[in-house]
Amino acid sequence: MAEVLKVLTCLVIILLQKRLNVKEMVYFLIDVIVVQYKDTLKLAVPSLIYTLQNNLQYVAISNLPAATFQVTYQLKILTTALFSVLMLRKSLSRVQWISLLLLFAGVAIVQVQQEGNKEASVKDTSTQNYTVGLVAVVISCLSSGFAGVYFEKILKGSSASVWVRNVQLGIFGTALGLLGLWWNDGAAIAERGFLFGYTSMVWCVIFNQAFGGLLVAVVVKYADNILKGFATSFSIIVSTVTSIYLFGFHVDVLFTAGAGLVIGAVYMYSLPKAPAGSASASSSSSSSSTSEKTDRDAEMEAFLPKAQGGVSPPSAVHITT
């Protein structure tokens, strides 16, 4: 349902861009999706990976405290950076490498803190498996990093809009989701109907999943990576505070230190690279602009249908390199 809503939203945006000319929009979509089918098929791989990733996130959050999941999931920054270096031959600044080390250290401290609390706390642990949750979030981070970099690699030089790409991804995501739905719950759906169990809370999750990534795209377009880093840090704080009141989550010195390192690492990684050498003012400005653009490219996954989360990317109007 999240994929369907995202596709419908992107179609509405494309229709507005075509000044409500339905005929022009239909011809346009036929051209970019059907006629240029080879380009569309390239998105089947990241769509498959993101579908897997979205389901792994549900497994992870079902078995981990919300704050722990939010902190650990920031490892996607590390995996995205490593895949960018390996697959795209990108270079990271010294500050970014340091931030990745701090990120890993912060997540490790949080995991040590959780290991210490597992035996001490018995509340709401009967239905949770911490190991399963941790494995799920790690695999999700790996898939997120690979899919984001792969998506960037195959789209280099493309001028297709983000909304078109989300339609293409959504088509594959919907098909793969329906296949998994039929495989796991086909009999139950045939008996009870497709929307059985869709409570108001479920719809809230669906809307958050569908529109979260699109909202991040708007943030990156009209703000910058530094503000996005602040937003990510703020989300960790909100998740932690909310978990305290809703689930009785215990915050101690180790968790505070680990989360603090992660927040600092996210901010440091978001900083634009400093221009090298003592170039002129104009060349320095150009270098800084190029660095910021590279950072946005590294956040490509923010435009994709996940939880966005996200990662997050290039211009929100056109995918650039």
The confidence score (pLDDT) of residue 158 equals 66
CA-based nearest residue to 56, from 299, 64, 208: 64
| Spans of all domains in the chain | 2-183+195-271+282-303
Is residue 119 pLDDT above 70, yes or no? no
| 78 and 103 Cβ atoms separated by less than 8 Å | yes
The tens digit of pLDDT for each residue in 274-319 reads: 665 544 444 444 444 444 444 444 444 434 444 344 434 333 333 3
The confidence score (pLDDT) of residue 220 equals 58
CA-based nearest residue to 11, from 2, 20, 262, 34: 20
- Does the pTM surpass 0.85? The reply is no
Distance CA 103, CA 108 (A): 9
Residue 167 amino acid letter:
V
Is residue 223 pLDDT above 80, yes or no? no
Mean pLDDT of the chain: 77
CA-based nearest residue to 165, from 31, 304, 298, 13: 304
Q: Residue 27: which pLDDT band, with cuts at 50, 70 and 90?
A: very high
More confident residue, 218 or 8: 8
Residues of the chain above pLDDT 70, percent: 74
The confidence score (pLDDT) of residue 26 equals 93
CB-count burial class (<10 Å; 0-12, 13-18, 19+) for 7: buried
More confident residue, 39 or 219: 39
